[in-house]
Each structure stands twice: as structure tokens, then as C-alpha cells.
């Protein structure tokens, strides 16, 4: 028995990664190298700003056999954990009890403990899966009827991510049917927290008068009231404080130029002057905070990137942020705040959707190919507007293209997006077909898009082309390859939206300075409009801006996926690829301009230049939108 206990414990400490599966929000706490890596996910938002401790993996692996001692109440919570060792489920309702070993000697205690733990891995009866039925949530997957909707999925090298890859030889005592049954149960559990529709989704994504619009308007007015109140309180405190402290206290007030400190630190990092860089980082840390004003939050974010670059851990940290699974419902709350605070996404979604509907005309078959569909937040309103079209809606076919996610299910998010859009299409009675493609964009073949000459074809790519590598990394630039693919698709219209950034320079200090200017505008915009205590503001600053800044500052080569270019650079690329630029309809541009100037802060700008529609903050251009056609269709 001693030999059995020791051998079992040895087997336990060397449990392979493929034999342990975590379901629920606990996955978020794992470091990136615990989850199988694949192609770099761009995200969004995915794709995300929490720094994982590399020691978490070792502590988790050793503690895995004790997870079964979690109480039933904690098991039923949203952070529930199910462990499977070699394919066998360790039930949370197990009757195993830890005996009382008080009074025993230390050696006997270890021996008895080893025996008890070893006995847990011995198949004692046929009720190994007894409690699977008891845990109803495993069999209650939220399902969407797809009898009227055709949803297809294409992934790259999906076999590499299959959890069965390393288990076939280990489950010697189980038949093939049991293996498949166990695997399907775990896949069902992945979607237990998937929310395809809710009142919040409808309010935010269906921005119709009477539903979503009043909600965003009320939130915008609440921001204005809170901003005015904070300014009044700050002024009152400042005036009374000067009187109370006197001249001596006011003379000691220290003024720190955080931007100058950050640029000086970046110069020290570029010169590999670690001593100076660390000293500057200490000064920056003293005056930065993730909960302070906009400048302090920006400094904290950039200091994290500089520190990661100094330590050489930028790529590992970024992979951990990308691997963090954030649900669409959680991101939707931050997206709601973003729509209320600034017009960037809302206005460009309005312009692009209306332009696509004009291009479709009265055609009864429409195919939208969306490069970088992510959560598909752009399309519910579009589907609703199609349903209201005189003469009835066309048959809508959508191809959602995304980068593969790290982990066992590279197409999980893009598939969920398809189910959500299918639910909206069913409600609005729009014939709908969805095809999901999760692979590197430059590897997509024309045949995979299943083009039909009788369809009106529209290609849409908003703000995600920045994640494609350029000529500094690959001789055959993925950016040019994707543009060539779009030209071969020969669409009736190509909607191309970009983030106007110049922080793709090969020289580190230049890139750092341009990134600092860009993100300064974004942090200043949130500081001016959104109260500091808003939790969704922290999500935007950490999980979106923070992740992007970290990648720009701390990663190099193919690991640096945040590579935005200016709209003039993209204009040259598109012209070289064989496209002709189109002008937006004047009435659409007029409506968009009215929305920005009447509903949002006075410092937002909207303008046109060389047929590009521009949006920005305090004179700095941040987002741009354009429309194109292949030269042979012009």
C-alpha cells in the first residue's frame, strides 16, 4: 500500500497538461503557457489586461487533486471548477471525507493521507459519472434553434487544439464511446455562460428610438452632471485648501511632467541604460495610479509596458492577456459606456451600415464578408433595418472572419457571434446563413468564401487591419496579401475603417512617442467625459488601451501585432492593390455630422479629407473610414 500511495502521488505531481480541463471563470486565472498557444489573437477587446503570476501554474497543478473538497454551494456559483484527471470526472458531490488524524505521529499521518488520496484514483464502482446527471447545468446548454439558419465553421489546424490529442493512449479502460461522451460533456460546459440575447444586448445593439437610444442619452446626461459636480467640488476644495494650508504648504506643491519622464525612460530603455531606466521608473510609479486622473492612469499603463520590456517578459504577459477569456456580456457593458461617451464606433457603424444597404439596393441576395467580426456588435441594427426594407428583406449570408483564439477551441468566439446574429435574424424574419472562419487572414483561400455571382458582395473591415504584419516582419506582407484577396473577391463595395496611428515606426523611441500621443488623447477623452469611479471605464483602460499599449511598448518582431498606420499610408496601399476610392453619400455624411455635433462633447471633431471620413478628439485624428471598389468595377 505504501508503494501504491507513493506511485500515485508521483503520478499526480506529473499529471500532463492535456489531462486537466478547467471549466468556468477559473480559466481566467491561469497563465498563458497553461493554455495551448496558437496564432496571435488580435483583439479586441478580447481580447485582457491582468498580469498573471507565472507561479500560478505550479501551485494549481499541485492543488488539483484537492479541488473536490469544494463545497456544493461554491460549486454551483459562476466560478465553479470541474477537474478531470485522465478523463475521469472528480465529482464535487463525492462522499469522500478526510478522517481525523489528530494524535497520530507525523510519519503515520503522511502515510494515511497518501493512502486516502491514492484510493480516490481507484475505480471502485460503475458510478464514476453518477453525479453528472445531478449537475443539471452540464446538460442544460442554452440552445438556439437553427432549423431555419445554416451555420458552418471552418478553422485552421483544429486537430492540433483537440483535447483528445494526448488522451487516446491513456484511457485504456474505457471504450471509444465513453471517451467521446466525456469529451462532449466538457464541450457543453464551455457554453454554459454564453448569453445570446438579453435586454442589455437589445438596448445597446439595437439603437432604435424607444429602446437603445434613450438609454445611451440618459447615460450621456449622467456623465455631464457628474463632470460638472466634480469640477465644482474640485474648485471648492482647492480654494478652501489654499486658505487652510497657508503659504508654506502651497509652496511645497510639486509639479511633475509625467510625459517627459516617460519619454526619458523610453530613451534609457532603448539605450539599455538599466540603471537610469529603473530610477526613472521609480519616479513615474510615485506619481502614477490606475485610479487617478487621466495623466496618472496613462503613466501607470505605459510604466507597466516599460517595466515588462526591461524584464524581457512583454510577450509572455501579452499572451496571458490574450488568453484571458472575457464574455461578450462583460464586454458589452464597457461597449455601452464607450458608445455613450464618444461617437467613434456609433457614427462609423451608422455610415458603413447605411452605405452597405445603398449598395445592396433591391437585390434579394446579399453576402457580407466581415474581416475582424469579433463579437458582431455592428450587425444587429443592420439586420433589423434589412427587415424593414420595402419589398421584404434579402437573404443575408455572412462570413465572419477572425484570428484563431488560443486554446482548444480556436473558433469559439466567432461561432458564438454567429449564433447571436442568427437569433436576431430569426426574430426579425431575415433569411440568414453564417459561415465562420478562424484562421490567419493571409492563409484564407478564395474558395473558402463560397462566392455566388448572383449575390451582392460586400467586404467590411473596421479597425482590425492594424493587427496584420507588415513588410518589416514578412517579405510577403500579410497586409498586401489580404488586400489582394479582397480584390479577387471583386466586391461591389469594400468598407475600410482604420485607427489612424503613426506608432508603427521601427525606431523604438519614435514609436513610443507616437503611441504616447495617441493614447494621451484617448485617456484625456475618457477623463473629460466619464467619471473616474465608473468600473466600465477601468475595463476600457485596462483591457483595451492597456493591452494595446503593452504590445506596442514591450513586444517586437512578429509578437508585436499592434501596428497601425495613418490613413494616407493605407490609401497608398489600397491604390496599389487595384482599388478605386469612392465618396460617401452626402446625405449620410450630413446625418453623421449632425449626430456628432449635437449629441456629443464639443471637442469631438468630424471632417473629410481625400474622401476619407475622419473623427478625432481636440484636433487629433483617431478614426477614419473609407469606401472602395476594384478598378475593374469602377
Backbone φ, ψ for residue 433 (5° rounding): -140, 140
Asked, for residue 119, whether it belongs to a domain, the answer is yes
Helix (H, G, I), strand (E, B) or coil at 127: coil
Which of 166-170, 228-232, 239-243, 468-472 has the highest average model confidence (pLDDT)? 468-472
pLDDT band of 316, cuts 50, 70, 90: confident
More confident of the two residues 549 and 181: 549
Q: What is the pLDDT of residue 351?
A: 97
Tens of pLDDT, residue by residue over 476-508, are: 999 999 999 999 999 999 999 999 999 998 899
More confident of the two residues 184 and 505: 505
Which has the closest alpha carbon to 94: 116, 68, 64, 132? Answer: 68
Q: Other CB atoms closer than 10 Å to residue 249's CB: what's the count?
A: 11
Instruction: Domain of residue 77: give its range.
Output: 2-160+182-190
Please provide the DSSP assignment of 61-116 as one string. HHHGGGGGGS-HHHHTSTT---EEETTEEE-TT--------TTS-HHHHHHHHHHH
Print burial letters for 298-337: b (CB count within 10 Å at least 16), e (below 16): bbbbbbbbbbbbbeeebbbbbbbbbbbbbebebbbebbbb
Tens of pLDDT, residue by residue over 558-598, are: 999 999 999 999 999 999 999 999 999 999 999 999 999 99
pLDDT band of 280, cuts 50, 70, 90: very high
Using a 10 angstrom Cβ sphere, with 0-12 exposed, 13-18 middle and 19 or more buried, the burial of residue 614 is middle
Tens of pLDDT, residue by residue over 28-41, are: 333 333 333 333 34
* Percent of the chain residues topping a pLDDT of 90: 50
Nearest-angstrom CA–CA distance, 383 and 575: 31
Nearest-angstrom CA–CA distance, 226 and 219: 11
Grid coordinates given for 342? 464618444
Q: What is the pLDDT of residue 283?
A: 95
pLDDT band of 329, cuts 50, 70, 90: confident
Asked, for residue 451, whether it belongs to a domain, the answer is yes
Residue 114 contacts by C-beta under 8 Å, 6 or more apart in sequence? 2, 5, 6, 8, 9
> What CATH number is associated with residue 595?
3.40.50.150
Q: Is the pLDDT of residue 48 over 60?
A: no
Between the alpha carbon of residue 216 and those of residues 162, 208, 581, the distances in Å are 42, 11, 34
Cell numbers 538599466 correspond to what residue?
274
pLDDT band of 166, cuts 50, 70, 90: very low
Asked, for residue 297, whether it belongs to a domain, the answer is no
Q: Is the pLDDT of residue 65 over 50?
A: no
Q: Is the pLDDT of residue 261 over 90?
A: yes
**Triad 309, 310, 315: Cα angle to 5°:** 30
Q: What is the pLDDT of residue 453?
A: 93
Asked, for residue 454, whether it belongs to a domain, the answer is yes
Asked, for residue 31, whether it belongs to a domain, the answer is yes
Asked, for residue 212, whether it belongs to a domain, the answer is no
Residue 620 contacts by C-beta under 8 Å, 6 or more apart in sequence? 517, 518, 521
pLDDT mean over 329-353: 90
Asked, for residue 100, whether it belongs to a domain, the answer is yes
Tens of pLDDT, residue by residue over 16-25, are: 433 333 333 3
The number of folded domains in the chain is: 2
Query: Is the CB of residue 613 less than 8 Å from the CB of residue 606?
Result: yes
Which has the closest alpha carbon to 503: 419, 390, 347, 622? Answer: 622
Instruction: Work out whether strand 83-85 and strand 88-90 pair parallel, antiparallel, or are unpaired.
Output: antiparallel
Asked, for residue 355, whether it belongs to a domain, the answer is yes
Print burial letters for 569-603: b (CB count within 10 Å at least 16), e (below 16): ebbebbeebebebbebeeebbeebeebbeebbbee
Q: Which residues pair with 606 in a beta bridge?
A: 615
Lowest mean per-residue pLDDT among 52-61, 401-410, 511-520: 52-61
Q: Other CB atoms closer than 10 Å to residue 365's CB: what's the count?
A: 15
pLDDT mean over 181-210: 53
More confident of the two residues 45 and 329: 329
pLDDT mean over 123-133: 43
pLDDT mean over 108-116: 66
Query: Is the CB of residue 376 less than 8 Å from the CB of residue 464?
Result: no
C-alpha 453 chain-centroid distance: 34
HSE on the CB side for 177, CA within 13 Å?
0
Amino acid at each position: 500500500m505504501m508503494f501504491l500511495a507513493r506511485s500515485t502521488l508521483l503520478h499526480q505531481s506529473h499529471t500532463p497538461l492535456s489531462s486537466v480541463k478547467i471549466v468556468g471563470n477559473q480559466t481566467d486565472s491561469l497563465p498563458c503557457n497553461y493554455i495551448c498557444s496558437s496564432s496571435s489573437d488580435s483583439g479586441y477587446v478580447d481580447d485582457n489586461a491582468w498580469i498573471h503570476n507565472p507561479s500560478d501554474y505550479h501551485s494549481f497543478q499541485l492543488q488539483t487533486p484537492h479541488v473536490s473538497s469544494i463545497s456544493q454551494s461554491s460549486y454551483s456559483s459562476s466560478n465553479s471548477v470541474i477537474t478531470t484527471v485522465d478523463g475521469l470526472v472528480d465529482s464535487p458531490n463525492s462522499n469522500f471525507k478526510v478522517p481525523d488524524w489528530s494524535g497520530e505521529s507525523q510519519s503515520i499521518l503522511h502515510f494515511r493521507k497518501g493512502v486516502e488520496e491514492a484510493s480516490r484514483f481507484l475505480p471502485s464502482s460503475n458510478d464514476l459519472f453518477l453525479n453528472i446527471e445531478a449537475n443539471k447545468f452540464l446538460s442544460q446548454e442554452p440552445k438556439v434553434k437553427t432549423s431555419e439558419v445554416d451555420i458552418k465553421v471552418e478553422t485552421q489546424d483544429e486537430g492540433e487544439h483537440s483535447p483528445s490529442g494526448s488522451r487516446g493512449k491513456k484511457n485504456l479502460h474505457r471504450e471509444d464511446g465513453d471517451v467521446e461522451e466525456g469529451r462532449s460533456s466538457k464541450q457543453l460546459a464551455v457554453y454554459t455562460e454564453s448569453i445570446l440575447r438579453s435586454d442589455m444586448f437589445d438596448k445597446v445593439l439595437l439603437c432604435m428610438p424607444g429602446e437603445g437610444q434613450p438609454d445611451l442619452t440618459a447615460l450621456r446626461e449622467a456623465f455631464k452632471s457628474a463632470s460638472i459636480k466634480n469640477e465644482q467640488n474640485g474648485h471648492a476644495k482647492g480654494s478652501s485648501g489654499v486658505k487652510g494650508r497657508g503659504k508654506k504648504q502651497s509652496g511645497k506643491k510639486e509639479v511633475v511632467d509625467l510625459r517627459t519622464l516617460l519619454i526619458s525612460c523610453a530613451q534609457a530603455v532603448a539605450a539599455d541604460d538599466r540603471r537610469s531606466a529603473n530610477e526613472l521608473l521609480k519616479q513615474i510609479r510615485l506619481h502614477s495610479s490606475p485610479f487617478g486622473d487621466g495623466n496618472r492612469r496613462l503613466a501607470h499603463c505605459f510604466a507597466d509596458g516599460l517595466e515588462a520590456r526591461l524584464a524581457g517578459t512583454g510577450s509572455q504577459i501579452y499572451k496571458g492577456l490574450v488568453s484571458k477569456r472575457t464574455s461578450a456580456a462583460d464586454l458589452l457593458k464597457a461597449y455601452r459606456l464607450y458608445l455613450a461617451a464618444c461617437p467613434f464606433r456609433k457614427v462609423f457603424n451608422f455610415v458603413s451600415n447605411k452605405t452597405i444597404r445603398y449598395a445592396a439596393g433591391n437585390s434579394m441576395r446579399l453576402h457580407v464578408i466581415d474581416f475582424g467580426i469579433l463579437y458582431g456588435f455592428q450587425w444587429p441594427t443592420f439586420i433589423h433595418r434589412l427587415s424593414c426594407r420595402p419589398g421584404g428583406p434579402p437573404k443575408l449570408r455572412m462570413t465572419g472572419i477572425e484570428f484563431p483564439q488560443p486554446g482548444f477551441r480556436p473558433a469559439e468566439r466567432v461561432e458564438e457571434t454567429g449564433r447571436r446574429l442568427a437569433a436576431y435574424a430569426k426574430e426579425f424574419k431575415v433569411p440568414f446563413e453564417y459561415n465562420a472562419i478562424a484562421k490567419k487572414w493571409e492563409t484564407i483561400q478564395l474558395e473558402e468564401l463560397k462566392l455566388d455571382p448572383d449575390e451582392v458582395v460586400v467586404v467590411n473591415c473596421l479597425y482590425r487591419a492594424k493587427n496584420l504584419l507588415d513588410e518589416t516582419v514578412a517579405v510577403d506582407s500579410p497586409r498586401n496579401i489580404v488586400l489582394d484577396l479582397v480584390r479577387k473577391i471583386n466586391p461591389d463595395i469594400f468598407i475600410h475603417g482604420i485607427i489612424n496611428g503613426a506608432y508603427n515606426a521601427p525606431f523604438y523611441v519614435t514609436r513610443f512617442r507616437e503611441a504616447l500621443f495617441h493614447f494621451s488623447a484617448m485617456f484625456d477623452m475618457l477623463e473629460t467625459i466619464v467619471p473616474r469611479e465608473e468600473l466600465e471605464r477601468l475595463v476600457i483602460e485596462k483591457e483595451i488601451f492597456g493591452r494595446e499599449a503593452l504590445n506596442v511598448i514591450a513586444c517586437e518582431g512578429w509578437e508585436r501585432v499592434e501596428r497601425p498606420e495613418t490613413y494616407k499610408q493605407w490609401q497608398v496601399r489600397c491604390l496599389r492593390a487595384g482599388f478605386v476610392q469612392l465618396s460617401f453619400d452626402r446625405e449620410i455624411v450630413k446625418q453623421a455630422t449632425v449626430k456628432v455635433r449635437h449629441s456629443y462633447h464639443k471637442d469631438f471633431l468630424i471632417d473629410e479629407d481625400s474622401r476619407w471620413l475622419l473623427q478625432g478628439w481636440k484636433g487629433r485624428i483617431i478614426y477614419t473610414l473609407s469606401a472602395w471598389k476594384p478598378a475593374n468595377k469602377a
